[in-house]
Amino acid sequence: MDSPQPERLAAWLRDHPLAVDACLAGLFFLVFSVAMGAGAGSGDAALFGLLLSVPLVWRRRAPVAAAAAVVALGLLQLVLVSTDLLPADVAALVMVYSLAAYAPRWASRAGLVVGLVAAGLAALRYYSPLYEPESLVIMAGAIGVTVVAAWALGDLRRARLQQVAGLEERARLLELERDQEMRLAATAERARIAREMHDVVAHSLSVVIAQADGGRYAGQADPAAATSALEQISATGRQALTDMRSLLGVLREDGGQEYAPQPDVAAIDRLVADVQASGLDVDLIVEGAPVTMPAGPQLAAYRIVQESLTNVLKHAGPASRAWVRLHWRPDALEVAVLDDGRGAAAALAGEDGPVPSAPGHGLLGMRERAELHGGRLTAAPRHGGGFGVQAVLPYRSPR
C-alpha cells in the first residue's frame, strides 16, 4: 500500500502557495546573490539580489505588483550598475513566467512586451561598447528568446491551471446534478408510494364498508349472506394488508423484504369480480385483441379502474350500476369506467367537497398516472346521470 505522505505534502504545497514562494525566494537569493554574486566580486550583486528576491514572494498572490517592483528595480539597476548583468536578473524571467501563468491576460501580454524592451535596453547598456552592431542585435535577440521562452512556459502553466479548474468545476456540477437527481428520484418514489397507498386503502375500505353495510342489513333475514359478507371483508382486509406491506417494504433498509409483481391489465378481471362480490352491479366489457404493454401503463390502467370503481362505491349511491370497458385500439388501450349513480355532484364532492382528498390523489392522481405514460384522462358527469372516467394509454410510453 502506497504511503499517503507524498499526497499530503502535495496538498499542503497547493494550499500554502505564499509559504512555498517565500522558500523559493530565499533559495533564489542564496543561489543567485550569495553564491553567484560572490564570484562577481561586487556588493551590488548581493544588494540587488536581495531586492529582486523579495517580490518573488508575491509572484502568485499579487503578480502584477511584484512585476512592477521588479521592473522598477531593473530600471534602477540600469542607472546604478554599469559593469554587467547580475545573476539575480534571472528574477525578471521568473516574473515574466509568473505574469503569463497567474496574472490577467492583459498583464501577461504587457509583461512579454516589457521583457522584450528590457532585453534591448540591457544589450545597449552593457554590451554596446564590446560588440559590433550586428553582434549587439544577436545578443539582444538571445536575451529576447529567453524572455519569450519564459513567457511561453508561463502560458502553458496558465492553460494547465484553467484545464484543472474546468475539470474541478465539471466534477462539482456533476455532483450537484447527481444529488439533485437523487432528490428528484426520492420525491418521485414518495409520490408513487403515496398514490399506491391511496388506491389500495381507499378501494379496500370502500369494499369493506359496502360489505359491512350489506351484511348488517342481511344479518337478521339471511345469516348466510352475512357470513359471506364477513368472509369478503376478511379477504379484502388481508389483501390490503399484503399490498401495504409490499409498498412499505421498499422503505426498509435491511433488504430482506419480498417483492410481489405489480397488478396489470389482466388483473382487472379479478378486481371487477371482487367489486361485484361487494354488492355493486358492474360489468366488464373487453373489445379488440390484447396487446403487449410495458408494466408502467398496465399498472396505470389497473389503478385507474380501481380508483374509479372506488368512487362508484363511495358516491354513486345504492342500487347503482357500473361498466368497465377495455378497448384495445391499434395504438393505445382505452379504459372507460361509467356508472348510472347519483351523478357528478356526488363524485365531485368526493374530490373537493365534503370528503376532501389530498393533493395528487383521486381524479388528479388518475390524470397524473395517465400523463406519466404519455396518455390522457377525462372525467366528467354523464348525460342523464352518473359519472364517467375515460383514459387513453399508448402502448409505448414517450421517451
374 — pLDDT class (breaks 50, 70, 90): confident
**CA trace torsion 10, 11, 13, 15 (10° rounding):** 170
pLDDT at 214 over 70: no
The mean predicted confidence, pLDDT, of the chain is 78
Say what the pLDDT of residue 251 is: 56
Residue 356 pLDDT > 50, yes or no? no
- Residue 324's pLDDT is what? 94
The three cell numbers locating residue 58: 508575491
- Residue 363 has, within 13 A of its CA and on its CB side, a CA count of 20
Q: What is the pLDDT of residue 335?
A: 94
Q: Give the span between the Cα atoms of 174 and 126, in whole angstroms.
A: 57
Distances (CA, A) of 167 to 94, 155, 170, 179: 27, 18, 5, 18
pLDDT bucket at 223, cuts 50 / 70 / 90: low
pLDDT confidence of residue 252: 54
Greatest mean pLDDT among 65-69, 208-212, 225-229 = 65-69
Q: What is the pLDDT of residues 4-21, one digit of tens each?
A: 677 777 777 777 888 888
For a pLDDT cut of 70, what percent of the chain falls above it?
Answer: 72
Looking at per-residue pLDDT, the higher value among 266 and 3 belongs to 266
**Predicted local distance difference test score (pLDDT) of residue 348:** 45
Reading the block at residue 209, the C-alpha cell is: 364498508
Mean pLDDT across the stretch 346-363? Answer: 44
Judged against a pLDDT cut of 90, whether residue 156 lies above it is answered with yes
Q: What is the pLDDT of residues 30-46, one digit of tens each?
A: 887 777 755 544 666 77
Nearest to 44 by CA among 88, 105, 97, 13: 88
Answer yes or no: is pLDDT of 207 > 50.
yes
Residue with cell 503578480: 63
